[in-house]
Amino acid sequence: MRSIASLLLGLLAVLTVSASNAQDYPSRTVRLIAPFAPGGIADIAGRVIGNKLSEMWKQQVIVENRSGGGGLIGTQAVAMAAPDGYTLLIGVASQFAIVHHFYAKYPLNPLKDFAPITLLTDTPLMFAASAKMPFNNIREMIAYANSQPGGLAFSTPGNATLNHLTGERFALETGIKLLHVPYKGGGPAGAAIAGGEVPIGVVAASSAISFIKSGRVKAIAVTTARRIALGPDWPTVAESGVPGFEASNWTALAAPAGTPREIIAKISADTNRVLKMPEVRERLATVGSVVLGSTPEELGALIRDESARYATLARRLNLKLD
């Protein structure tokens, strides 16, 4: 009886400490690690949402950009951080469901190394081209690519990102040759198109819109099923002659595996409150992002489903990265 009583007392103590930790959280600065350079969708969402969380929590919430390795450097930093809720990952679909399927040796397993918190946004991807290119739509781009013996180079935020796979899938389905040029984030990938370093890119609308407005980049097509409010005159890839072609990039918040459930629940609840604020929704809409929100369980189910889908695509593309 004494051992049972001791066990119950111990369990009660653990639960009391966990509840106390969640109640006191956060008591210091919280870091949101964005694994790409500034200017991409994870960076933008992190800064908009982080500012509001900072006001709510009365503690600093800072976005720290750790680019490199196709997002691996920043992602791994979070996986190795203390599971206390003070270092979080603000990543895109690639980190959670894609990249580990394309490397023979990848040091992380997103399904095991992270605790899902909440889904944040969904942002359309697009084919964008340098204003100097002699094509203005998908059909003309395909014809131009076929006229180039070495193929057509395209920029993305990095290897095995959704952008990269969207370009590879487009090449596969249209029979053209595309040459992938990875950058350290959506911002640099968009700037590379504007600067003429690459003729085209597969980038988030948020990474191209400022360059489109300045006239240095032109929109070729969006990869969503329907046209988007950010550019209602931009056609979709599907209506441009590639039926059924669709892709958009979601962002999500996660913590290192082992983070107390009470802290996960608090961050999720507070972040979802922020996502319902009209000013947050309006600000993110200006870069083409649609605010989503979810429970930790819903995000976990999405990650598992998307991971299975991209495992199938990896086999279909037969794309292996070193």
136 and 301 in contact (C-beta within 8 Å)? no
> Residues spanned by CATH 3.40.190.150 within the chain?
25-122+249-317
| Helix H or strand E encompassing 99 | none
C-alpha R_g of the chain: 21
Q: Could you tell me the two tokens for 34?
A: 């964005």
Q: How far apart are CA 101 and CA 94, in angstroms?
A: 10
Give pLDDT, residue 17.
46
Give pLDDT, residue 321.
78
The residue behind tokens 């190795």 is: 80
**98: DSSP letter:** I
Class of domain 124-240: alpha beta
32 and 64 in contact (C-beta within 8 Å)? yes
Q: How far apart are CA 306 and CA 79, in angstroms?
A: 20
| Helix H or strand E encompassing 90 | strand 87-92
Contacts by 75-78 with C-beta closer than 8 Å and gap 24+? 75/33, 75/35, 75/108, 76/107, 76/108, 77/33, 78/33, 78/114, 78/254, 78/255, 78/256
Give pLDDT, residue 39.
86
* Amino acid symbol at 303: I
Q: From residue 47, give the alpha-carbon distance in Å to each of 182, 205, 244, 267.
A: 24, 17, 34, 16
Q: How far apart are CA 40 and CA 70, in angstroms?
A: 13
Give pLDDT, residue 103.
85
Q: How far apart are CA 300 and CA 264, in angstroms?
A: 13
Write out residues in the chain with pLDDT < 50, as ranges: 1-2, 5-8, 10-11, 13-18
> Residues spanned by CATH 3.40.190.10 within the chain?
124-240
33 and 74 in contact (C-beta within 8 Å)? yes
Q: Could you tell me the two tokens for 112?
A: 């095991």
| pTM exceeding 0.85 | no
Q: How far apart are CA 160 and CA 71, in angstroms?
A: 9
Q: Could you tell me the two tokens for 67?
A: 């680019």
Nearest to 183 by CA among 174, 170, 169, 193: 193
Class of domain 25-122+249-317: alpha beta
Q: Which residues contact 225 (CB under 8 A, 6 or more apart)?
A: 236, 238, 246
Give pLDDT, residue 313.
84
Q: How far apart are CA 273 and CA 290, in angstroms?
A: 15
* Amino acid symbol at 18: S
Q: How far apart are CA 184 and CA 173, in angstroms?
A: 27
Q: How far apart are CA 90 and CA 32, in angstroms?
A: 6
